[in-house]
Amino acid sequence: MARLLMPGQVVRTEPSGQACRVEHFIGGGGQGEVYRATLRGDGVALKWYFPHTATPAQRAALAALIRRGAPSTRFLWPVELAGGDVASFGYVMPLRPARYRSITDLLRRRVEPRFRVLVTAGLGLVDAFLQLHARGLCYRDISFGNAFFDPDTGDVLICDNDNVGIDGDSTSGVLGTPRFMAPEVVRREAWPSADTDLHSLAVLLFYMLMLHHPLEGRRESATASLDKAAIARLFGTEPRFIFDPNDDSNRPDPDVHRVVLSFWPLYPAYLQDLFTRAFTAGLRDPRGGRVREGQWRAALDRMRDEIVYCGACGAESFASVVAGPPAAPCWSCDAPLTLPPALHTGRRVIMLNYDTRLHPYQLDERLAYDFTSCAGRVVRHPALASLWGLRNEGGSGWVADRGAAEPFSVPPGASVVLSDGLHIHFGAGDGVVRAPTAQTEGQRAEAS
Amino acid sequence: MATKPADVQGFMVRPGGTPSRRPLHLFWIVDGSGSMRADGRIQELNFAVREAMPELRRAASENPSVDLLVRAVAFATGASWHVPDPTPVEEFAWPDLRAGGVSDLGAALALVATELRVPPMPERALPPVIVLISDGRPTDDWETGLSALAGTPWGARAVRTAVAIGDDADLEILQRFSGRSDLRPLRASTIESLTSQIRWASTVALGIAVAGEAAGVPVPAALPANHTMPDVWGPE
B159 CB within 8 Å of a chain A CB: no
A323 CB within 8 Å of a chain B CB: no
Closest residue in chain B to residue A310, using alpha carbons only: B217
Closest residue in chain B to residue A439, using alpha carbons only: B221
What does the pLDDT look like over B100-129, one tens digit per residue? 999 999 999 999 999 998 888 888 778 888
d(CA B28, CA B83) in angstroms, rounded, equals 9
Closest residue in chain B to residue A315, using alpha carbons only: B217
Contact A382 B236 (CB under 8 A): yes
* Lowest-pLDDT choice from A150-154, B180-184, B228-232: B180-184
- pLDDT value for A35: 95
Contact A311 B219 (CB under 8 A): yes
Q: Which residues contact A388 (CB under 8 A, 6 or more apart)?
A: A341, A352, A354, A378, A379, A380, A381, A417, A418, B220, B221, B222
> Nearest CB to A412: which of B161, B224, B235?
B235
> Nearest CB to B220: which of A313, A341, A402?
A341
Per CATH, A101-299 and A340-447 having the same topology is answered no
Q: With CA atoms as reference, report the closest residue to A391 among A405, A370, A406, A375.
A: A375
- Of all residues in chain A, the percent with pLDDT exceeding 90 is 68
> Nearest CB to A419: which of B215, B225, B235?
B225
> Nearest CB to A388: which of B208, B221, B231?
B221
d(CA A252, CA A265) in angstroms, rounded, equals 13
- Of all residues in chain B, the percent with pLDDT exceeding 90 is 37
Q: How far is B119 from chain A (nearest CA, A)?
A: 30
Task: Give contacts of A416 with chain B, Cβ < 8 Å.
Answer: 231-232
Whether the per-residue pLDDT at A405 is higher than 80: the answer is: no
Rounded to 5°, the CA angle B72-B25-B42 comes to: 20
CATH of domain A340-447: 2.60.200
Contact B222 A402 (CB under 8 A): no
Whether the per-residue pLDDT at A319 is higher than 60: the answer is: yes
Q: How far is B203 from chain A (nearest CA, A)?
A: 10
* Lowest-pLDDT choice from A169-178, A307-316, A418-427, B227-236: A169-178
What does the pLDDT look like over A205-248, one tens digit per residue? 999 999 999 999 999 888 888 788 888 999 999 999 999 999 99
- pLDDT value for B1: 42
Residue type, A353: N
Burial of B24 (0-12, 13-18, 19+ CB in 10 A): buried
Mean pLDDT of A285-296: 95
Query: N- to C-terminal Cα distance for chain B?
Result: 58
* Lowest-pLDDT choice from A126-135, A147-156, A348-357, A380-389: A380-389
Half-sphere exposure of A77 (CA within 13 A, CB side): 20
Whether the per-residue pLDDT at B57 is higher than 90: the answer is: no
Contact B232 A410 (CB under 8 A): yes
Contact B235 A414 (CB under 8 A): yes
Q: How far is A444 from chain B (nearest CA, A)?
A: 12
- pLDDT value for A176: 87
Contact A353 B223 (CB under 8 A): no
Tell which B residues from 6 to 45 touch A, by Cβ distance under 8 Å: none
Sketch the domain layout of chain A as residue ranges: 10-93, 101-299, 340-447
A438 CB within 8 Å of a chain B CB: no
Choosing among B193, B219, B226, which should be mutated to test the A contact, i.e. which has the most A CBs within 10 A? Answer: B219
Sketch the domain layout of chain B as residue ranges: 22-211
Q: Which CATH class is domain A10-93?
A: alpha beta
Interface ipTM: 0.81
Measured in residues, chain B has a length of: 236
> Nearest CB to B233: which of A415, A434, A442?
A415
Calculated CA dihedral for residues A359, A362, A365, A368, nearest 10 degrees: 40
Q: 3-class SS at A345? A: coil
CATH architecture for the domain at A101-299: Orthogonal Bundle (1.10)
d(CA A202, CA A241) in angstroms, rounded, equals 12
> Nearest CB to A383: which of B62, B185, B224?
B185
What does the pLDDT look like over B209-226, one tens digit per residue? 666 554 467 889 898 888
- pLDDT value for A27: 85
Closest residue in chain B to residue A390, using alpha carbons only: B232
What does the pLDDT look like over A143-192, one tens digit per residue? 988 999 999 999 999 998 988 988 877 666 778 888 999 999 999 999 99
Q: 3-class SS at A81? A: strand
CATH of domain B22-211: 3.40.50.410
